[in-house]
Amino acid sequence: MEFSYLYILAVVAIGVILYLAIANILKDKTNLLEKANRMIETGDFDGATEVYNQLILKNEFNPIYHAMLAYVFFRTENYQRAVVEYEIALKNEKDLPLKEVYNVNKYSGISYFHLKNYPKAFLSLYNSFMTNPQDAEVCYNIGMIYASQRKFEKALDFMSRAVGQEPMNYEAHFYTGLVATEANRRDIAIREFSIAKKISQIPQLDLYIAALFKENKDFMNAIRHLKNATRGTLTFEEKTKSFILMGECYKGLGLIEDAVTALELARQETDTVDDPKAMEYKKNILYNLGMAYVKDGKPEKGVSTWNDLKQFDFFYKDVKELTSGQLSDDVMARLTERWMLMPGLTTRDVIPTRDIVSKKFFDIDTLEKTVTRNVGEMKADPNATSSRIEQFKQLNIKRFREVSREILKFMGFTIQKEITLKYDSDFTDGKASGFVARKNSLDYLVIIKRHNDDVSGFVLLNALGTAKSMNIVNTVVMITSRFKEDALTIAQKNKNLTIIDRRGLIKALNVALQ
C-alpha cells in the first residue's frame, strides 16, 4: 500500500516537472517570438533574423518560424531568400493557421513577382485572391502580371479593384493609368493619372493627361494641363514635348498664331541644351514651325525656318523643294492643309507605357542592334560631316547605355549611379557601360561590354581596382562573351569577381521568364 502511494507521488512529481519544463519551453518560445516581433516593428531585421534562426534550430519542422523568417527577408527585399523559406513553410501547410497560409501565398507571390517568375507569382497570388478578393496588394500584383502578358483588359479589372481598396496609393493609380492607356481606355487613364497627380503633385502627370485629352480631341483641356505641366520642373525632353503638344492642340483649334508661339518655345528648348535627342526634336519642330508660319500668312518666315532644316538633309528628302522658293501658292496651300491633318505626337510618344512590367527577352545581341548606324559607314557617306558623325556617335553611346540599364533592371539590379573605368577608351566610344548597382542588399560594380570585344586581364584588374577604391568589395560583375587568357586566369583566382558571359546571361534571363 505504501509502495503504491509512493509510486503515485513519483508519477505526479514527474508529471509536474514535465509540465513545468514544457511550460518554460513554451514561455521561452513565446518570449522569443515577442522579441522578434518587436524587432520587426523597430526595423531591427538582422536581430529578428537571428531570433527566428534560433527558433528554427530548436524546431526546424515548425512552418510558422520559416514563414516569419521569410517575412523578414521579404521586408528587406531579399526576395530570393524569402521564397526559399516560404516554400519550406508551404510543405507543412496543414500545420499553419489559415491566416498564415493566406499570408504565405500572398508574400511568396509578391516575392516571385519581384524575381520575375510570373507563373509561380500568379499561382500564389491567385490562391490568396480566392481567399480574400478585396486585398488591394494581391489584386494590384495580379493585374501587373496580366499586364506583363499584354492582357490589359484583365489587368485593368484587377488593378481597378486595387485602387478601389487603396484610394491614396499613388503607385497603384499611376500603373492603372499606364495599363488603361495600353488598353486604349483613355477616360479611365485620364481619371487614374488625375488622381495620381492630386496625390503626388508630379507635373509630368499633367503632360500624360494632356496627351490623352489631345487624342480624344479635347484640345482645351489638353492645353490647360500642358500649361500646368510647363509651370513645374520638367526635363528638357518633357518640356519640349509639352510645347510641341501645345502647338498641335492650338493647330487642332485653328489658332495658328498660338501654335506658332508654342512651337517657337519648343525650338528655344532644343536650342539651349547639348543633347543628341535635341537634334531629333529640332527636325520635327522646324518642319512644323515652317508650316505654321506659312499657314499664318508668313511664307518668307516659313521658308527661312525650313532653311535651317538643311543640316538634316540626310533625313529630309523634300527640304530642297521646300526651300527653293519655287512652290506655287496652290502647292503651299495643299502642303499646309495636309499638315493641318497630321496627327503629331501620340500617347505612345509621351506616356512611358514601356515601364509596365514586360515579359521580354533580352539577348546580349540587343546591345549590338542598338547601334543603328556604324560610324565607319557614316564616314563613307559622302554627305556626312564631322559634326553629323559625332552626333551619331553620341546617340549610339546613349542608346547602348539605355539598353544596358534595361538589362540590369531585368536582372534585378537597382542602379545607384553610372561610372567609367579610367584608361578604358571603350567607355567614351560607346562600347562599354559601367554602373554601381545594388542587389540583395549588396553593392556591385557592373561593367557591360559589347559582346564582339575581347576583355583583357588589364580591364578586369582595372574594374577590381575601381571597385576597391569605391569600397565595393562584394563582387564585380562583367557581362560580355569573350575573354583573353590572362583575364580568365584573374577571374579564377579572385573570389570577389563573378563573370556572367553571354550564354550565362541568356540562361539567367530564361530562368527569370519560366
Domains for the chain: give ranges and CATH numbers.
203-359 (1.25.40.10), 407-513 (3.40.1350.10)
Helix, coil or strand: residue 135: coil
CB 109 within 8 A of CB 128: yes
Block residue for cell numbers 499586364: 147
- 164-219 confidence digits (pLDDT tens): 888 888 888 999 999 999 899 999 999 999 999 998 888 899 999 999 999 999 99
Cβ burial of 244 (10 Å; 0-12, 13-18, 19+) is buried
CB 145 within 8 A of CB 156: no
Residue 310 DSSP one-character state: G
Helix, coil or strand: residue 394: helix
Rounded to a whole number of angstroms, the CA Rg of the chain reads 31
Mean per-residue pLDDT of the chain: 75
- Residue 228, pLDDT > 70, answer yes
Number of residues assigned to the chain: 514
The percent of residues above 70 in pLDDT, for the chain, comes to: 68
Q: How far apart are CA 375 and CA 389, in angstroms?
A: 7
- Residue 20, pLDDT > 60, answer no
Give whichever of 115-129, 155-169, 361-375 has the largest mean pLDDT: 155-169
Cell of 364: 546580349
CB 43 within 8 A of CB 62: no
- Residue 89, pLDDT > 70, answer yes
The pLDDT value recorded for residue 410 is 67
Block residue for cell numbers 503515485: 8
Q: Tell me what the mean pLDDT of segment 118-147 comes to.
A: 87
- Residue 301, pLDDT > 60, answer yes
Q: Tell me what the mean pLDDT of segment 253-281 comes to.
A: 84
- Residue 371, pLDDT > 60, answer no
The pLDDT value recorded for residue 428 is 67
Residue type, 209: I
Q: How far apart are CA 179 and CA 177, in angstroms?
A: 5
Q: How far apart are CA 122 and CA 120, in angstroms?
A: 5
Q: In what order do the strands lie in the sheet with 442-449?
A: 414-419, 432-439, 442-449, 475-480, 497-501
CB 350 within 8 A of CB 497: no
Q: How far apart are CA 74 and CA 70, in angstroms?
A: 6
Q: CB pairs under 8 A, 24+ apart, for 469-474?
A: 470/419, 470/436, 470/445, 472/436, 472/443, 472/444, 472/445, 474/442, 474/443, 474/444
- Residue 280, pLDDT > 60, answer yes
Q: Tell me what the mean pLDDT of segment 332-336 comes to.
A: 70
The pLDDT value recorded for residue 373 is 38
pTM for the model stands at: 0.60
Cell of 421: 573605368
CB atoms within 10 A of CB 234: 18
Cell of 236: 528638357
Block residue for cell numbers 509510486: 7
Helix (H) or strand (E) holding 448: strand 442-449
Tell me how far the alpha carbon of residue 360 is from its chain's centroid.
Answer: 13
Helix, coil or strand: residue 438: strand
- Residue 513, pLDDT > 70, answer no
CB 139 within 8 A of CB 157: no
Give residues with Cβ within 8 angstroms of 47, minimum separation 6.
36, 39
Residue 324 DSSP one-character state: S
341 phi, psi to nearest 5 deg? -90, -5
Block residue for cell numbers 526634336: 281
The pLDDT value recorded for residue 405 is 78
Cell of 298: 508668313
Give residues with Cβ within 8 angstroms of 293, minimum separation 6.
260, 299, 301, 302, 305
Q: How far apart are CA 192 and CA 51, in angstroms?
A: 43
Of 23-32, 94-103, 240-249, 475-484, the one with minimum mean pLDDT is: 23-32
- Residue 21, pLDDT > 60, answer no
Q: How far apart are CA 300 and CA 327, in angstroms?
A: 12
The pLDDT value recorded for residue 78 is 86
Q: How far apart are CA 502 and CA 364, in angstroms?
A: 6
Q: How far apart are CA 81 and CA 498, in angstroms?
A: 20
